[in-house]
Structure 1
Amino acid sequence: MYINSPKEIESKSMDIIEEEMDKTSFTDEEKIVVKRIIHTTGDPSYKEIIKFKEDFVGEFKKAILSGEKIYTDTNMTKAGVNKKALNKNNIEIVSYVSDPDIFEKAKKNGTTRSYAAIEKAVEEGVKVFSVGNAPTALFKLLEEVDKGFKPICIIGVPVGFVGAKESKELLYSYNNIPLITTLSTKGGSNVAASIINACLYMVTERD
């Protein structure tokens, strides 16, 4: 007989994942995020590569409760975030990568759309960033930080073999920025969405 209740499946999955969390140094709230990532990916090895800095969970929760807009570099992440939880906190999640003006700007300047979209997000006053796909987006965001921009927090988990690992290592070298990253080639839009959802669920009652 197999389990056919979504809530029961998730609960049982989390119990199994909890057994994988022995001897980790995560705080209780960080552990909730790590478990959500492992639940999403089916990959317990994430517990070895996930890194937090500057009370990321606490600062992200404050941003959620303040209704801060969230920028994400992919529509896939945007689609994967719980809409009811966003609405309960009056949060807008945006991704400018497919906007016509971004397409034209990237073409004109010879950059990626992800790079150009970060410029737009900074110009529009976005302070919470999620990068799950494009290393160029993370590199550009850190260039903005070097110029004095101060994000509230950064989810930096781009996936791939060209620049992804390097962009995350660079992110992790920064101090005074609440962040979460995965120090490897692993990551992705689904991981980014799971991080956002984990923090949303900490402050929002789920239906």
Structure 2
Amino acid sequence: MITQKGQSIEDKSMEIIDSEIGSHPYSEDEWTIVKRIIHSTADFDFARANKIVFHKDAISSATDALQKGCNIITDVNGVIGGFNKDNMKKFGNQVICNISDAAVIEEAKKLNKTRAQTSMRLVARQMDHGVVAIGNAPTALTEVIQMIREGITSPALVIGIPVGFVCAVESKDELRTLDTPYITNIGRKGGSPCASAIVNALYKIIAKRST
């Protein structure tokens, strides 16, 4: 639970972001998400060259799924660290990250795949109708895309915002070709704080609608 002092700092930060960005092409709900990403990274580029891109059904699909208690699958524990856990408790959302599980490590070695790839493949059933939040590993994102194309899973939303130099850009480009709802960005930038911020912002949108 955020303190009054903490809330005042956050509110001031959001005012600064609004002031520095000025006009933008995002809808009100989209801007809630973009602004929270900027707040978590202090990087205004996410509203500019490395802009956030939304599937037309991304927000409606995700907020509906979250309110129904869907699973949230992440690629790394760092994404979980940025979540506001009170939100998950309210709706009964289970957060799943198995990248450090012994079974994942063993299977990855056997198949000569990354742990991130293998971790996604092993939770295909749990991510069905859930929210997938990938902020670190491009191979996790490419695996999820492949699984969707194979028809073995159908997430309500794929947050694909991995950071990096190898396959990060390409995986995001490929995600934008899917009909599955997604939120991603242009370019190499991204990271776990961005993925966490998107999920937290989706809960903010839910809360705003209920008032």
TM range (shorter): over 0.9
The answer to whether the aligner puts 1:43 opposite 2:43 as a matched pair is yes
> What SS does the corresponding residue of 2:159 show, helix, strand or coil?
strand
Specify the alignment match of 1:23 in structure 2.
23
Is the CA contact 1:54–1:177 (under 8 Å) kept in the aligned structure 2? no
The structure-2 alpha-carbon separation of the partners of 1:92 and 1:190, relative to structure 1 and needing over 3 Å to count, comes to: same
Distance 1:161 1:110 in 2: 21
Task: Determine which of 150, 153, 163 is the counterpart of 2:154.
Answer: 150
> What SS does the corresponding residue of 2:184 show, helix, strand or coil?
strand
User: What TM-score do you get using the length of structure 2 for normalisation?
Assistant: 0.91
Task: Determine which of 87, 90, 93 is the counterpart of 1:91.
Answer: 93
| Aligned-residue RMSD, C-alpha | 1.5
1:130-176 deviations in Å (ceiling 9; x for gaps): 111111111111111111232211000000111101100111122x2
Which runs of no fewer than 5 residues in structure 2 stay unpaired?
A: none
The structure-2 alpha-carbon separation of the partners of 1:121 and 1:20, relative to structure 1 and needing over 3 Å to count, comes to: farther
Specify the alignment match of 1:132 in structure 2.
135
User: Aligned letter for 1:96?
Assistant: N
Deviation at 1:196, TM superposition (A): 0.4
Is the CA contact 1:133–1:188 (under 8 Å) kept in the aligned structure 2? yes
> What SS does the corresponding residue of 2:164 show, helix, strand or coil?
coil
Specify the alignment match of 1:160 in structure 2.
164
Identity of aligned residues (%): 35
User: Aligned letter for 1:22?
Assistant: G
Of the structure 1 ranges 182-191 and 12-21, higher mean CA displacement relative to structure 2 is found in 12-21
Specify the alignment match of 2:6 in structure 1.
6
Which runs of no fewer than 5 residues in structure 1 stay unpaired?
A: none
Distance 1:21 1:36 in 2: 13
Task: Determine which of 64, 67, 70 is the counterpart of 1:68.
Answer: 70
Task: Determine which of 188, 202, 205 is the counterpart of 2:205.
Answer: 202
Specify the alignment match of 2:84 in structure 1.
82
User: Aligned letter for 2:142?
Assistant: F
> What SS does the corresponding residue of 1:58 show, helix, strand or coil?
helix
Specify the alignment match of 2:183 in structure 1.
180
Specify the alignment match of 2:175 in structure 1.
171
Distance 1:98 1:115 in 2: 12
User: Aligned letter for 1:162?
Assistant: V
> What SS does the corresponding residue of 1:5 show, helix, strand or coil?
helix
> What SS does the corresponding residue of 1:30 show, helix, strand or coil?
helix
1:41-60 deviations in Å (ceiling 9; x for gaps): 00111112110012211111
Is the CA contact 1:86–1:200 (under 8 Å) kept in the aligned structure 2? no
Distance 1:182 1:28 in 2: 18
Aligned length: 201
Distance 2:180 2:42 in 1: 29
Deviation at 1:202, TM superposition (A): 2.2
The structure-2 alpha-carbon separation of the partners of 1:135 and 1:125, relative to structure 1 and needing over 3 Å to count, comes to: closer
Is the CA contact 1:129–1:154 (under 8 Å) kept in the aligned structure 2? yes
Distance 1:187 1:62 in 2: 25
